[in-house]
Structure 1
Amino acid sequence: MNQQDIIDFIKQSDSPKIKYAFTDIDGVLRGKIIHRQKFMDGLTDGFGFCDVVWGWDSSDTPYDNGRTTGWHSGYPDAPVRIDVSTFRQLPWEDNIPFFLADFSHGLDNQSSKYGLSACPRSLLKRVATQCQDMGFHAEFAQEFEWFNFRETPQTLQQKNFQQLEPLTPGMFGYSILRPSLESAFYHDLFDLLGQFDIPLEGLHTETGPGVYEAAIMHDEVVRAADKAALFKTAVKEIAYRHGAVATFMAKWNADLPGCSGHIHQSLWNLEQTKNLFHDAAQPNHMSKLMRQFIAGQLYCLPHITPMFAPTINSYKRLVEGAWAPTTITWSVDNRTTALRVLNHKEAYTRVEHRVSGADTNPYLALAASLASGLYGIRHELTLDIPASEGNGYTDKRNGILPTNLDEATRAMANSPVASELFGAEFVDHFTRTRDWEWRQYLRQVSDWELKRYFEII
């Protein structure tokens, strides 16, 4: 359907309701239902949306260090625009029309028409335009792991998030048996997500009680991020309808593996007829372009780690032996490194970014992946770091990843590389939000502290 087809469909719809949403800086979907007439009226000039969504955290607590908006600005409206091309229908809500929005100042992807510097989707659109201007089509996909619990939002509060009941017990990775216990939920995930234009390449259990993994079909990078951003909320909504709660925390339990949000990425010619990462004449079939892309990602990684690990909890996942990387490394088909090259077939030759967790904002994670790879191409970096063999956790020749959010945020805030990639305004806003997150954590007293110190000290 082209834009006019979609508008005609909305005009002829029996429902007067339209739902639209966008992600805030944490990847949380914010939005509302509006009347069909308001939707039509806003197609030309956009809508006003309270810019507090860029001035508070994931718990709706206003930042005390914001510049984009705050008490000092009075939290005015900011212009939001619905992207008509993102039209889909909500199959679990009577097929209500749904759209994604962002805070771009224009209706197209021209780099001069990007708006609010805090808007993640606008940032990714700008990076995608840079990629296209360089002559490349970016084909990306994100995959997610998440845990499911036989709980409700009410029981989570009543139990203080303790002694939660997993959807199914035991360590059953790649199990055919365990999903049969919740077959209605399992099949609804695959079927309803597909109807919501988030087709899955695969869905299976991972190792851990009640944990699933899904790989989303690859697509152009902005559309891939759209699907990934919607995936997380869609899974939670589908879970609600089956008496379950889904979590995409990076690490909910110290004794269990964490939840990844790996990013699969490749560059093609603009006609999408040739995978530019593949060169049969080169070692490991890796083209010069692919090697520059990887070199850029490795070089930029310590400068932009918070975009792949944005929360306090993210760094509990990035520990040795937990199926997540800790070193600035790459490899060919090795799951212990930060970047993993997959080169079994020309059409599927790609780089898997394994630092990214399930707790990421997909727009920011994919923007960081693509921008850092393009950095390597623009600067013609050479991949001087040899591929890791065996245990990547022990390969510290090129350094290690930051070990906490404070360390990672300080590195990004002071990095000219980050500013070159994303602009000083975005870096300032984003790192201020991460600094706020760190300071909220420092004020808390954890269960670990109580158990360790309460009686003995």
Structure 2
Amino acid sequence: MKAIDQLREDPTQRVKIGVTDLDGVLRAKYISAEKLLSALDKGFGFCNVIFGWDIADQVYPDPLPDPGFADALASIDPDTIRQIPWEDALPFFLGDFRNDEGVAGAACPRSLLRRIVQRAEDLGFTARFGPEYEWFTYRETPDSLTRPAPPRPLTPGMFGYSGLRTSQHASFHRDLFDQLRSFGVQLEGLHTETGPGVLEAAVSHRPALEAADRAALLKLGVKEISYRHGFVSSFMAKPSASLPGCGGHMHQSLWRDGENVFYDPSAEGGMSKLLRHYIAGQLLFLPDIMPMFAPTVNSYKRYTEGSWAATRANWGEENRTVALRYIPGDGAATRLETRVPGADANPYLAIAAVLAAGLYGIEHELPLEMDAVRGSSYDQAIGNRLPKHLGQAAQAMRQSARVNSLFGAAFCDHFVRSRLLEWERFLGAVTDWEKERYFEQI
């Protein structure tokens, strides 16, 4: 690679590398080009504490996965090289722990997705994904967010698809579109969504691992570009009880020999037999893999009727109230949209869960016995209800032998334990709601 050769010419220059933890947080550091060139061949050490603490850097209680917090073996993926335009074109690489034999290798989300992608390739498929994210942008800084007042949205009002609001902050929206493209994250579209300061971006579809990389870097890029404009952007699933939440929807298709296997022009609605199996697999697993789509306590507050978020494991054609939206088209455009993941989901885990469940349906030729939902899903009791909270979802995942076989016991044990700890920490917290409701009256 030309860029790698340039690093060899000046091994003293700085580069940035990042790995993703269970919560989808990009943990990064600067290293010298000399260190990176050595690590390309033999890997490098990265403290495995990133899989032994939570999103707030609080270490998991005993028993720890590794009380000594040793270095895990991280591997750099040279294909992920790009430049960070807002850091003077600084070279950047993504890594993972695919060669580590300890806790990091078992827990690493990117490594899990690599294994699922290999499973698809073993079946003769190339999986392509187009992530789609919503987020809130505020007129705040990290410092100002510490004050007790509510955060101020970038713009007021419910202005979905607004030409006015995008023009109002044209330089910000221009930088989002152009600098993300320079960062190797091409957007198909960017627009305002319903709600004050809400934006949505669709990332162009790519092979599954690359799509997940771009999704992770989209979230990082949006936040860093926002900082440079004096704003803060949040991908929290439900930052306001009175407004719709933020989705992290996954558009997907499977390809073989250059053909979209979801499309069959001779079938009803153009829906191939393989696609029907694929949907059936996702419907089967949906209630038990929810922590991979909704990983936080806040995630589950997004799943309310009339909120554009699914509340049941169901499907429909061109229906945005269901969990799985079939989008018919020609051989290029036919696809499935999994609408369950929130914007707070780790993209590697969300894509791994979607793909693994769909492939299970194909491998086992599961019949799609559920009828498509017509009209509002909220008015019909079609499909199993999705879990109501993180504790319920994590227990369902823990008790599912099918899920263990799909992702491996080592990953499931570690991931579910992390979600249950998150739930337990929430149960021990005293919230403003409790104080307002009980403090004086009781």
Distance 1:26 1:206 in 2: 25
Q: Which residue of 1 aligns with 2:114?
A: 125
Q: Which residue of 2 aligns with 1:163?
A: 150
Q: Which residue of 2 aligns with 1:299?
A: 284
Counterpart selection for 1:405 from 390, 412, 415: 390
Distance 2:104 2:72 in 1: 9
Counterpart selection for 2:320 from 335, 341, 344: 335
Counterpart selection for 1:323 from 308, 311, 315: 308
Counterpart selection for 1:308 from 293, 297, 301: 293
> Amino acid of the residue matched to residue 341 of structure 1?
Y
Where 2:152 maps in the other structure, the secondary structure is: coil
Distance 2:113 2:364 in 1: 20
Counterpart selection for 2:420 from 430, 435, 445: 435
Q: Return closer, same or farther for 1:217/1:15 CA change in 2, 3 Å cut-off.
A: farther
Note the 1:167-178 alignment, pairs <5 A.
167-178=154-165
Where 1:202 maps in the other structure, the secondary structure is: strand
Distance 2:416 2:63 in 1: 10
Q: How many residues align?
A: 442
Q: CA deviation at 1:212?
A: 0.3
Q: CA deviation at 1:254?
A: 0.3
Residue 95 of structure 2 corresponds to residue 101 of structure 1: yes
Q: Which residue of 2 aligns with 1:60?
A: 57
Q: Return closer, same or farther for 1:67/1:301 CA change in 2, 3 Å cut-off.
A: farther
Q: Which residue of 2 aligns with 1:75?
A: 69
Where 1:135 maps in the other structure, the secondary structure is: coil
CA RMSD after TM alignment? 1.6
Note the 1:333-372 alignment, pairs <5 A.
333-372=318-357
Q: CA deviation at 1:423?
A: 0.1
8 Å CA contact 1:325–1:354 kept in 2: the answer is yes
Q: CA deviation at 1:345?
A: 2.8
Q: Which residue of 1 aligns with 2:136?
A: 147
1:16-66 deviations in whole A, cap 9, x for unaligned?
001000110000000200011111121211100111011000100001155
TM-score by length of 1: 0.94
Q: Return closer, same or farther for 1:363/1:208 CA change in 2, 3 Å cut-off.
A: same
Distance 1:39 1:136 in 2: 33
Gaps of 5+ in 2: none
Where 1:30 maps in the other structure, the secondary structure is: strand
8 Å CA contact 1:115–1:122 kept in 2: the answer is no
Q: Return closer, same or farther for 1:15/1:142 CA change in 2, 3 Å cut-off.
A: farther
Distance 2:10 2:433 in 1: 55
> Amino acid of the residue matched to residue 28 of structure 1?
V
Q: Which residue of 1 aligns with 2:248?
A: 261
Q: Which residue of 2 aligns with 1:30?
A: 27
Gaps of 5+ in 1: 107-111
Counterpart selection for 1:200 from 183, 187, 193: 187
8 Å CA contact 1:328–1:396 kept in 2: the answer is no
- Identity across aligned pairs (percent)? 52
> Amino acid of the residue matched to residue 255 of structure 2?
W
TM-score by length of 2: 0.98
8 Å CA contact 1:264–1:353 kept in 2: the answer is yes
Where 1:75 maps in the other structure, the secondary structure is: coil
Where 1:104 maps in the other structure, the secondary structure is: coil
Residue 72 of structure 2 corresponds to residue 87 of structure 1: no
> Amino acid of the residue matched to residue 223 of structure 1?
E
Q: CA deviation at 1:13?
A: 5.3
> Amino acid of the residue matched to residue 411 of structure 2?
F
Distance 2:102 2:267 in 1: 40
8 Å CA contact 2:166–2:173 kept in 1: the answer is yes
> Amino acid of the residue matched to residue 34 of structure 2?
Q
1:391-440 deviations in whole A, cap 9, x for unaligned?
11233233110000000000001111111110000000000000010011
